Structure 1
Amino acid sequence: MNNRALNQGGYFCLLGLIFLILILGTSCQFRKAYPEARHGAKMIFDPVGNKILLFGGRGENLTGGKLLNDIWVFDSETQDWQEIKTSSPPTSRLSPGFVYDPSHHQVILFGGYTNKGRLADTWLLDLDEYQWKEIHPPHSPPARSDMGMAYDKSNQVVVLFGGYCLENQRDYCDDTWVFDPDLNHWIEMNPISSPPVMYGHSLNYGSFKQQILLWGGHMSIMDQGRISSAGYNNSLWSYSYPNNQWIELSPVNQNKPSPRYWHQAAYDSEIPGLVIFGGDGGYGFLADTWLYNPVLNSWEKIKFLQPPPARTVGSLVYSPDDEQIFLFGGLNEDMESFRDTWSFTFNEGGNWTMISGN
């Protein structure tokens, strides 16, 4: 073989190598990262960074999926997910309390479910440095998961109600607790009356009347010394921290969401109103969207041509900067987890849009 043939062969090999590098580089450039499929995760909106944070949950399916303790950030402008590495993260878990504290630019985490049982730990996540810190208040709520927990912006405290508790610590889980971020301590409120014993309900701060709103949940009763199901709830309650008072609300219309638990809920401060999506109704998972309007004190069902697939224990959060609600993950009726991202807006009567698929 002459030198010219060798040179031509080397030339074509070089061209092939360059082409391969370009192809691989292009494919890597457009390969986006997403959180793995999960349910029982929690999301908050960070207005300082205009980002949505996703934490924890259980991956893959209801029984075989691993528990998670990762943090992902969603940028609604670029519609990209990015994993954030944090220092000294808490134990992997699902269905904890997870709320944003704007007065200290931090996340407050409480409890949740692990493979070794339910937890009663309290953690703070510094959103400037993304550093976790466990704190040890002198008094804390008993271990639990699937509680309702929300930040009361008008009073700058965290309100917690109910949840799935450890039976050997508290037979009934209908307790109300408040966490003060300035003092880093919990206090049990012991109001005169409370919503029923329940777990899997939602708790959201309603800015219109500056109150905590509770909806849905799986109710329980004590029957012959054992806790038994009392069905699903579809009543709406409000809690006033200054008055330490729960009040069951009576919307003016009879048309309201069917009883359920493990639904997805977020409060839209622009409308304003409480948005409910999906959940477990006992006879199947749901894919309906409802709005509770506190101005009119009424429920309205929002109808769509293509809503997200039916699910339960997904993650829902409102972004005031985008005036949109974002949904991630959840569990389908085959007991497998989603990894899809959706946005919801009330433009033109309401619309769901899929951002990324499963």
Structure 2
Amino acid sequence: MIINQRNDTIRKAIAVDKAPMKYKTIFMISLLILFSSFSSHPQMIENQPVNAAVVAQNSTPAARYLPAFVFDPINERVMMYGGGSSAGGDVEYEDTWTFDYMTRTWTELTVDTTPGPRHSAVMVYDTTDEVIILFGGSQGISRASDTWIFNCSTEEWTEVTPAVSPPGRMSHAMVYDSANERVLLFSGYGPSGPNTADTWAYDYSTNIWQEMSPETSPHARYGASYIYDDVNETMIIFGGNSNGYFSDTWSYAYDTDIWTNLYPITHPQALKWSSSVYDSANQKMILFGGDDALSRSVNDTWVFDSQTNEWEEREPALAPPAREAFGFAFDTDNEKAILFGGIQLYNDQLVDTWAYDFQSNTWEEMIQISDSTPLLVAVIVIPVIAVVIIIAYSFMKKRR
């Protein structure tokens, strides 16, 4: 498209005036415009280390469902751990990956120790201690009850061993309450199913898990969407499943130990394994996808405003394909919700990466960019430009 536009520019410039000096002047101006446009092409200005480009070109996480997913503000990147796959037999991953929105690159971290293969674990970022905390997950037929810490500076996993821990579980709701400096955990799928509507709090500084005692709470469930609401300093959950799908919205306040059913008038349909992030820039809960009561994957985008207690369906012009059980985190540096992978109906697994911008209500698929891209463009485009220049110059000489 760029080359065709420049060809038209050159032809029009030649036709403006028959005087040789004007030909040369217009020709040179067109040539300068052509090369300046080419050199300023977005893919030509990525300043990445050479090694990073090689990683970007050849490295992408395998398709997976239910990975642990969180944003690391120290290194300004999304982090993913583990996940599962049923392609070629059941597989549980124990790899650690990062995604950089600015370069659109995935990088696998080399770590000596890991929490082990698992899916359906949950990670949160502890803003007070600047570490990532992982709890639980599914390991074969077992439900994990271990707590792990990832140091974002040293890129090391360490298991901590509190005296008491929540019973093992997967697909639980878990957030970091920055106001009270606690991890908050609710329910999930235990060894015998989603039969416990328990609420726990974890203090990293003392390495203590404490079971809370709210008078009322939501029904036990797994696969709910959840966020921490900075404005009201509460945990918010939506939906999930427990012998039936839920479409309720609840909030939990650690300081009062109270669960509150919010009863919004409008809300998404009943879903499990949808995912939510908290857009701290716009103070909104963003929900995408999920599995509906008819076991169909959906690709709806919804936003919840806790200050007005209202859900709104956004209906962007373009959205990722329908899916459930994907990774979802909010990049606070770039103010984008980052999505990866998941599964569709009939267990089709996905390996794409998308970003959502609340202000413009747009989804964009993240196509990886590497240093080889400018070289490829140059190899293809420069010879074509040379031909255009030769033809244009020959035409001018004939017209003199």
For the criterion TM > 0.5, the same-fold answer is: yes
TM-score for both structures, normalised by structure 1: 0.84
Structure 2: segments with no counterpart, 5+ residues? 1-50, 369-400
1:199 counterpart residue number: 222
Over aligned residue pairs, what C-alpha RMSD do you find?
1.9
1:224 counterpart residue number: none
Bigger strand fraction: 1
CA contact (8 A) 1:147 1:162 kept: yes
1:257 counterpart residue number: 268
2:143 counterpart residue number: 118
CA contact (8 A) 1:32 1:80 kept: no
1:208 counterpart residue number: 231
Aligned-partner Cα distance in 1 for 2:90–2:153: 31
Letter in 1 for 2:255: P
Q: Is 1:318 paired with 2:330?
A: yes
CA contact (8 A) 1:87 1:130 kept: no
Of residues 318, 335, 339, the one that matches 2:347 is 335
2:68 counterpart residue number: 42
1:248 counterpart residue number: 261
Divergent runs of 4+, >3 A = 27-30
> Which whole-Å deviations, capped at 9, do the CAs of 1:223-256 have from their partners, x for residues lacking one?
xxxxxx1x111111100000011001122xx332
Bigger radius of gyration: 2
Aligned-partner Cα distance in 1 for 2:135–2:56: 37
CA contact (8 A) 1:37 1:60 kept: no
Letter in 2 for 1:246: W
1:6 counterpart residue number: none
2:182 counterpart residue number: 157
Q: Describe the shift of the 1:132–1:311 C-alpha distance in structure 2 as closer, same or farther (beyond 3 A).
A: same
Cα shift at 1:119: 0.9
Cα shift at 1:74: 0.8
Cα shift at 1:156: 0.8
1:278 counterpart residue number: 289
Cα shift at 1:171: 7.8
Q: What does 1:88-237 align with in structure 2 at a 5 Å threshold?
A: 88-167=113-192, 172-219=195-242, 229=243, 231-237=244-250
Aligned-partner Cα distance in 2 for 1:250–1:259: 14
1:13 counterpart residue number: none
Q: How many residue pairs align between the two structures?
A: 316
2:100 counterpart residue number: 75
> Which whole-Å deviations, capped at 9, do the CAs of 1:152-182 have from their partners, x for residues lacking one?
0111100000000122xx9821000000011
Q: Secondary structure, in 3 states, of the residue corresponding to 1:55?
A: strand
Cα shift at 1:321: 1.0
CA contact (8 A) 2:194 2:220 kept: no
Q: Is 1:238 paired with 2:263?
A: no
1:226 counterpart residue number: none
**1 or 2 for the larger relative contact order (CA 8 Å, sep ≥6)?**
2
Bigger helix fraction: 2
Aligned-partner Cα distance in 2 for 1:204–1:306: 24
Aligned-partner Cα distance in 2 for 1:65–1:100: 29
Cα shift at 1:339: 0.8
Letter in 2 for 1:33: S
CA contact (8 A) 1:262 1:312 kept: yes
Q: Describe the shift of the 1:296–1:215 C-alpha distance in structure 2 as closer, same or farther (beyond 3 A).
A: same
Letter in 2 for 1:154: A
Letter in 1 for 2:217: S
Q: Is 1:266 paired with 2:277?
A: yes
